[in-house]
Amino acid sequence: MDREKAVKRAEELVAKMTVEEAASQLRYDSPAIERLGIPEYNWWNETLHGVARAGTATSFPQAIGLGATFDQELLGEVGEICGNEGRAKYNEYKAQEDRDIYKGLTFWSPNVNLFRDPRWGRGQETYGEDPVLISRLAVPFIEGLQGDGEYMKTAACAKHFVVHSGPEAVRHQFNAICSDKDLNETYLPAFEACVREAKVESVMGAYNRTNGEPCCGHSYLKDIIRDKWQFEGHIVSDCWAIRDFHENHKVTKTIEESAALALKKGCDLNCGCTYIHLMKAYNQGLVSEKDIRTAAVRLFTTRFILGMFNETEFDGLTYLDVETKENLAVAKRASDESIVLLKNDGILPIDKNRNKVIAVIGPNADSRACLIGNYYGTSSEYITALEGIRSAAGDDMRILYSEGCDLSLTKPDNLSREYHRLAEAKAVMNRSDLVILVIGLNENLEGEEGDEGNQYKSGDKPDLLLPKTQRKLIDTVIASGKPFITVVMAGSALDLSVLNDKSSAVLQAWYPGARGGQSIGDILFGKVNPSGKLPVTFYKDTNDLPDFEDYSMKGRTYRYLETEPLYPFGFGLIYGNIDITSAGFEGEDPKNSGLTVKVDVSNTGDIAASEVIQVYMKADDPNEVKNTRLAAFTRVDLGAGETGSVEIPVSAESFKVVNDAGERVVPEGKVDIYVGFGQPDELTERLTGKKAYSFTV
């Protein structure tokens, strides 16, 4: 149903409601209006990396892992699967008259916040630290989720608007100070792409204030989202965020004033309980009947576009369409592509002829929790790293296992148990030819403030260090003298300096999905060639990072970094070798009309491989970022000895720089373009042994 028709039907329906009935529909748990044939509806649903919290679903890598794929086509397929499974569940639950939370068609995903600081616990929910990467992945995910049929398959939501990326502990009273330049250069682009390009149906506000105004009652909702970007969908608050207006931000004095501020600024739907008091605000003259009905029309427009009151082309989707063989194949491909090879001295792929006994050690080796990250669904099968390694190794190798230590030590009385675990790890290593150390975090150690499983209330990390228990285990493995490979499962950057020095190989596996252990095993034994790239910078430590509460981009992310990191954004090794043999461009007036980068590539290795070609630029303009910035990227797959050519469009908009007033302007001087398999920096060149092609326009 086109929007114009849906708006008309919504206006006609809302006109039949009393003011009180219309106000009741602005809550996430909207009650039924039986006299008008309107069933109850709960707007809250999640599908960050697979349909979450509603039973069985295909489990994909956590969003940060999807970011590491640098694969736009894949993200479209993931979105399509999430949309199909979400609609299938809706159909089945609706048939059972179950309209509870997590049963609807409005999904509060994706999270397009920028991962500006590695300490942020929720950073795992994002696609990384670069606005171009986030935008290029979010758009196809949203398009896949929403579909392009007569009716919208499911409704996506870009969150959390805006200038939000921790700290979690004080998010309910925090005020993020942001310059016009940083706002328009860093924090807004992904949201703009979601609205303008993907036509996302919903935008969610954040908990914090930005430049003094609470995000769910901010002037930006109207001035930027609706007026500047011409957004036609609805705006929803983060959960219980409007209550913060008077309880924590202290910008209002009463709950009625908070409800009125949010509604009048453009927040149509309240996740929380504050809009229960809208009628009191109405009776006090704080909001008008028009304010209430305008929001209700927007919400029912979405419901009509989704076909909730009609038969749709999606009505035939059932539980038989959930976690299908085809869907699981896409999830496997996503896991394969998400894993980043950070170091390899030649030990990988594992040689079965030289290594007959392998010791798999570490708290994440046989853990299900580290597979899934937060906002997850239920899988019908879980494959841990240990199980994946055992499967890939086959029957001709012996796999020994020891947990080695707790993930983290939270109780002093566990010290004795830790001693005995280390003793077992030593015994296992003594009998092995090779050690695979599987360490990292899980959602209990990093995540959202107040998450049920969090051992620490805030969910943020105090630093980049692994827990002390694991650092002791690492020292024990190093002291054994055995060659070892490290697999890190975490949703963010950690201090891997010691492992970079001592481990023969390092894999960053993120939270790879419920069956992600299979991808880990396949990559370690060479059944799959690693191809992931870092969507975030891996710093050596936090000493040179600005204060966590400082939202200025100075000194943050690869675009403004002032010191050399441990591993750079965009970096990732492969097995074998793919080279760029030539690179150039077509376009007569690139800064005003864009250009097309043309790249010839060759696989000179003896195995098939995938690479990510990355295009960076830097303008000779005082408004340019400190370093280079990503402009475009694409994946290329080549068989052994195969050559190929790719064309990568770079829009005129990509050339623009942002001045201090927040305006996007054509750069004054020349622009250098770089094409390679990572950033055009000395560290990437040193780690990969490859130099980026460059040309000037």
Task: Indicate which residue of 238, 268, 451, 522 is catalytic.
Answer: 238
**pLDDT over 70 (residue 456):** no
What is the pairing mode between strands 643-650 and 595-603? Answer: antiparallel
Residue range 5-33, pLDDT digits in tens: 999 999 999 999 999 999 999 999 999 99
- Asked whether residue 491 falls in the same domain as residue 431, the answer is yes
- Give pLDDT, residue 453: 63
User: 231 with 225: CB under 8 angstroms?
Assistant: yes
Q: Is the pLDDT of residue 210 over 70?
A: yes
pLDDT score for 452: 61
Model confidence over 506-544: pLDDT tens digits?
Answer: 999 999 999 999 999 999 999 999 999 999 999 999 998
Query: Can you spell out the DSSP letters for 614-667?
Result: EEEEEESSTTS-SS-EEEEEEEEEE-TT-EEEEEEEE-HHHH-EE-TTS-EE--
338 and 286 co-located in one domain: no
- Look up 180 and say whether it is catalytic: no
Whether the per-residue pLDDT at 166 is higher than 70: the answer is yes
Give residue for tokens 């796999």: 399
Specify the pLDDT at position 458: 83
626 plus 686 within the same structural domain: yes
Please tell me whether residues 354 and 463 are part of one structural domain: yes
What is the DSSP-derived secondary structure letter of residue 32? P
Alpha-carbon distance values, 119 to 124, 221, 424, 495 (Å): 10, 28, 33, 11
Contact 176, 214 (CB under 8 A): no
Q: Is the pLDDT of residue 448 over 80?
A: yes
Is residue 563 scored above 80 in pLDDT? yes
| Same-domain pairing of 295 and 342 | no
396 vs 431: which has the higher pLDDT = 431
Predicted confidence (pLDDT) at residue 419 exceeds the cutoff of 80: no
Give the CATH number for residue 15. 3.20.20.300
User: Is there a single domain that holds both residue 582 and residue 662?
Assistant: yes
Q: Are residues 467 and 594 in the same domain?
A: no
Same domain, 594 and 525: no
How confident is residue 450, by pLDDT bands cut at 50, 70 and 90? confident
pLDDT tens-digit readout, 106-159 = 999 999 999 999 999 999 999 999 999 999 999 999 999 999 999 999 999 999
Supply the pLDDT for residue 451.
Answer: 73
pTM for the model stands at 0.98
Domain shared by 226 and 363, yes or no: no
For residue range 674-686, what is the model confidence (pLDDT) as tens digits?
Answer: 999 999 999 999 9
> Could you tell me if residue 253 is inside a domain?
yes
Q: Residue 338: in which H helix or E strand, if any?
A: helix 325-338
| Residues 492 and 449 reside in one and the same domain | yes
21 Cβ contact list (under 8 Å, min separation 6): 33, 36
Domain count, the chain: 3
Q: Which DSSP category does 31 fall into?
A: P
Containing domain of residue 666, as a range? 578-696
Domain C-terminal end among 276, 305, 334: 305
